[in-house]
Amino acid sequence: MLQFLENLLLKRRLRKRPEFELQYFEKYKNLVAWDKIVSLLEEYKSGDIIFEPIRLKITEQDEEVLYENIDKSEILSPQEKVETIIGLMMVLDGSFPKPPMLSLLEKIFGKEFVEMIEKKREEFKDDIATKKLIRLTKEWKKYTGLKKESPFAKKFIGTNFDPLTKKAREHLKEIAEELDEKYNKLSPEDKAKVDAMSKNNK
């Protein structure tokens, strides 16, 4: 069992051996359903790493203390402890746990800990939105051959759409209007990023 778990974790981990987690899975293996542990670990393994892993910023001793706090908790059941451990693994590796895991993490580490994770979630969403906008601008500019203009609606519904059908032009117009709205909501810094990308792809 432990070899299976180790192989599963090594596909994702930043360290060579996940010693801390394995000792707790060994401890709770007879108290929590095996299929539940595997299901939770598969969820952990499939999660995207979308912010800088916290594990890189703390010592292994600090990490061990975090796991001990979960293990010594008197308010969590064995299954909740396993779920909380896996939730912590996700956070340490740069992923977002689902709300039930966040709730368990809050019970152990407090509201401020969860708020920090939520803040990273929002920063990630903003960053992704900006990157998508830049990518779409770049691709459509290449496709239509239009020169840089502002706002985006003028760029995408101009006169250089001869190769496109009427339906395609209407679709691009809808997209352009949506992009224009998103662009106007960006911070000055993010607008500068988009403008710079457009300039580089004239």
Q: Reply yes or no on whether the pLDDT at 190 is more than 70.
A: yes
- What angle (nearest 5°) sits at the alpha carbon of residue 100, between those of residues 97 and 102? 50
The DSSP line for 78-132 is HHHHHHHHHHHHHHHTT-PPPHHHHHHHHHHH-HHHHHHHHHHHHHHHHHHHHHH
pLDDT, tens only, 144-182: 444 444 444 444 444 444 444 455 556 556 666 676 677
Mean pLDDT value across residues 34-58 = 73
Which residues fall within 8 angstroms of residue 197, CB to CB, at 6 or more apart?
A: 134, 137, 138
Mean pLDDT value across residues 89-116 = 86
The 8-class DSSP code of residue 73 comes to -
pLDDT, tens only, 50-69: 676 777 777 778 888 888 88
Q: Reply yes or no on whether the pLDDT at 73 is more than 70.
A: yes
Spans of all domains in the chain = 2-109, 121-200
Q: Reply yes or no on whether the pLDDT at 107 is more than 60.
A: yes
Q: Which residue has the higher pLDDT, 162 or 138?
A: 138
Going by pLDDT thresholds of 50, 70 and 90, the confidence category of residue 41 is confident
Q: Reply yes or no on whether the pLDDT at 22 is more than 60.
A: yes
Q: Which residue has the higher pLDDT, 122 or 76?
A: 76
Q: Which residue has the higher pLDDT, 13 or 86?
A: 86
* 62 contacts 68 by C-beta, under 8 angstroms: no
pTM over 0.85: no
Mean pLDDT, the chain, whole residue set: 69
Q: What is the pLDDT of residue 137?
A: 57
The DSSP line for 142-191 is HHH-PPP-SSHHHHHSSS--TTS-HHHHHHHHHHHHHHHHHHHHS-HHHH
